[in-house]
Amino acid sequence: MTEKSPLKEAQETFIKALDFRSQPAEQRSLVDALACTLHESVTAPMDTPPYPRSIVEGYLIDSSASKGASEEQPVSFDIVGSVKPGDSECPTPTAGQAIEVATGSLVPAAPYAIARMWEIEKSGNSISIKRPFPPGFFIEEQGCDIKKGSEILTAGSQLDSKAIGDIASLGISNVSVSTPPRVAIFASGDEVIPHTDSFRMGAIFDCNTPMLSAAVKEAGGIPLPQGIKSDDFEAFVSDVKTALVEADMIVIAGGTAVGGRDFVSDLIREVGELLVDGVPMRSGRPLIMGVAQGKPIVCVAGHPPEALRGFEIFGVAAINHLLGKNADLPTDPNEQKSGPQG
C-alpha cells in the first residue's frame, strides 16, 4: 500500500471537517449556468431524438416491398409525397409507394427503410431500386441517444459548453446549481499597502488580494475582499468574526507568525477549531487550516507565489467540497513541475 504524503493527510484532515455540498441550491437559467456545479442531477424529460428520423436524403419505402430487388429485377415505387425537416407528420407508404425525405425528416419506424439518392433510379414520378433494404435502414430510432428518465448529468458535475448544449437539447431551460460560496479574503502585514496606492519606501504592494480574488472566481466562488489588516491580534479576530457572518469561507494571506507568536494559529483557535498547523513539506509552515461555524478557514503564506500555491492546494479543495463538485483533491503544482520536495 502506498503511504500517504503529509500533504494528502493534511488535505484529508481539513476536508473531512467540512460538510459536503453544504452550499444551498439555486435555480439558474442555462445562459447563466456556465461553470456552475450541479446541485441536483439532470434527467431527461423526453427521448432524444424525440421521434424516428431520417439521417440521409432519399426515399422512404416499406422494406418488405424491397425483397427480391436485384440488377436483373428492379422493384419500382410511386412517389406519393415528401417530408421536410420541421414537418410534424409523415405519410406512411404502402407497398409500391415512396416518400421523399431529407436529413432530419420525421419518419415512421421500422419496418420502413430509406433508399439513398444514389441507390435509386428516378423516372418521372417513380423510382426503382436494384437491391433489398433492411428494416430501419438509415432511420435513427426514437431515444437511441438518450432515453426519457435517464440521468444525463450527475450532481457535482461542472457545467461546460457541451453540457449546456446537452441540457438545452432536451428543452430544459433552468438547472439546480450550488450557490457559489462567498469567500472573505484578508491580506495582512503592517508593511502592505493597496496596489492602487502610490509607492513608498519600506512598503510592498498587496498583490495577494487581487490574485486570490481571481483564484476564488476561477474555483467557482465569489470573492469578498476585506482589505489589509495590521498585526493587531484582537482587531484581526474581531474582523474575522464579522466576516463569518456573511462569508462561507475565510482566506488569510500572511501573518503566520508575528513577534514570535503563532498569530494565525491562535486566531483560528479564537474563532473556531485549528485542524492543520503547518504541513511538513517545503514552505509548509504557513499552511494553516481551521473551521469556524462549519466554515473553512484557509491560511497561506504572504509571499505571493506561495500564497497562490497554498490556495490551489487547500482553498480549491475547500470550495470544491462546499459546492459538492466531483473532483479529486488538488495536487501540489510545485511537485508536478519538479517532483516531491522534502
pLDDT given at position 77: 97
pLDDT given at position 157: 97
Q: Mark which of 87, 122, 140 sits at the end of a domain.
A: 140
Residue 173: all three cell numbers together: 431551460
Q: Within this chain, do residues 260 and 281 fall inside the same structural domain, yes or no?
A: yes
Strand 75-83 to strand 126-129: parallel, antiparallel, or no bridges (unpaired)?
antiparallel
pLDDT given at position 299: 95
Grade residue 22 by pLDDT with cuts at 50, 70 and 90: very high
pLDDT of 342 over the 60 cut:
no
pLDDT given at position 189: 80
pLDDT given at position 283: 62
pLDDT given at position 133: 96
Query: Is residue 277 assigned to a domain?
Result: yes
CATH number of the structural domain spanning residue 67: 2.170.190.11
How much is the average pLDDT of 100-109? 94
Query: Is residue 102 assigned to a domain?
Result: yes
Q: Within this chain, do residues 226 and 268 fall inside the same structural domain, yes or no?
A: yes
Answer with the residue of higher pLDDT: 162 or 256: 162
Q: Within this chain, do residues 285 and 316 fall inside the same structural domain, yes or no?
A: yes
Matching residue, cell 487547500: 314
CA 300 to chain CA centroid, Å, is: 26
pLDDT of 340 over the 50 cut:
no
Q: Within this chain, do residues 300 and 215 fall inside the same structural domain, yes or no?
A: yes
pLDDT given at position 258: 52
Peptide bond into 49 cis (omega under 30): yes
pLDDT given at position 286: 82
CA atoms within 13 A on the CB side of 189: 21
Alpha-carbon span 196 to 207, nearest angstrom:
10
Residue 178: all three cell numbers together: 450550488
Grade residue 62 by pLDDT with cuts at 50, 70 and 90: very high
Instruction: With beta carbons less than 8 A apart as the criterion, state whether 303 and 207 touch.
Output: no
Alpha-carbon span 146 to 150, nearest angstrom:
7
Residue 122: all three cell numbers together: 428516378
pLDDT digits (tens, 9 = 90+) for 166-196: 999 999 999 999 999 999 999 988 788 778 7
Task: Please compute Rg for the chain using Cα positions.
Answer: 32
Q: Within this chain, do residues 166 and 301 fall inside the same structural domain, yes or no?
A: no
3-state secondary structure of 279: coil
CA atoms within 13 A on the CB side of 324: 21
Query: Is residue 1 assigned to a domain?
Result: no
pLDDT digits (tens, 9 = 90+) for 36-45: 999 999 999 9
Query: Is residue 95 assigned to a domain?
Result: yes
CATH number of the structural domain spanning residue 174: 3.90.105.10
Query: Is residue 264 assigned to a domain?
Result: yes
Q: What is the mean pLDDT of the chain?
A: 92
How much is the average pLDDT of 244-252? 98
Q: Within this chain, do residues 89 and 206 fall inside the same structural domain, yes or no?
A: no
Query: Is residue 162 assigned to a domain?
Result: yes
Helix axis angle for 263-271 and 233-246, nearest 10°, is 50
pLDDT of 249 over the 70 cut:
yes
Q: Within this chain, do residues 225 and 211 fall inside the same structural domain, yes or no?
A: yes
Q: Within this chain, do residues 224 and 280 fall inside the same structural domain, yes or no?
A: yes
Q: Within this chain, do residues 309 and 210 fall inside the same structural domain, yes or no?
A: yes
Grade residue 336 by pLDDT with cuts at 50, 70 and 90: low
CATH number of the structural domain spanning residue 328: 3.40.980.10
pLDDT digits (tens, 9 = 90+) for 251-279: 999 876 555 458 899 999 999 999 999 98
Query: Is residue 152 assigned to a domain?
Result: yes
pLDDT given at position 24: 97
* Percentage of residues of the chain with pLDDT beyond 70: 94
How much is the average pLDDT of 110-127? 94
Length of the chain equals 342
Alpha-carbon span 85 to 106, nearest angstrom:
7
Give the residue numbers spanning the domain of 75. 53-140
- Burial bucket for residue 116 (CB in 10 Å: 0-12, 13-18, 19+): middle
Instruction: With beta carbons less than 8 A apart as the criterion, state whether 41 and 198 touch.
Output: no
pLDDT given at position 190: 74
Structure pTM? 0.84
Q: Within this chain, do residues 170 and 265 fall inside the same structural domain, yes or no?
A: no
How much is the average pLDDT of 307-312? 95
Q: Within this chain, do residues 264 and 331 fall inside the same structural domain, yes or no?
A: yes
User: Phi then psi for 99, rounded to 5 degrees?
Assistant: -120, 125
Grade residue 334 by pLDDT with cuts at 50, 70 and 90: confident
pLDDT given at position 225: 97
Candidates 171, 159, 216; CA nearest to 33 is 159
Answer with the residue of higher pLDDT: 339 or 156: 156
pLDDT of 337 over the 70 cut:
no
Residue 31: all three cell numbers together: 445562459
Name the least confident of 66-75, 120-129, 142-151, 284-293: 284-293
* Percentage of residues of the chain with pLDDT beyond 90: 81
Domain count, the chain: 3
Residue 189: all three cell numbers together: 502585514
Query: Is residue 224 assigned to a domain?
Result: yes
Q: Within this chain, do residues 17 and 114 fall inside the same structural domain, yes or no?
A: no
How much is the average pLDDT of 92-99? 94
Cα torsion 54, 99, 131, 122 to 10°: value is: -120
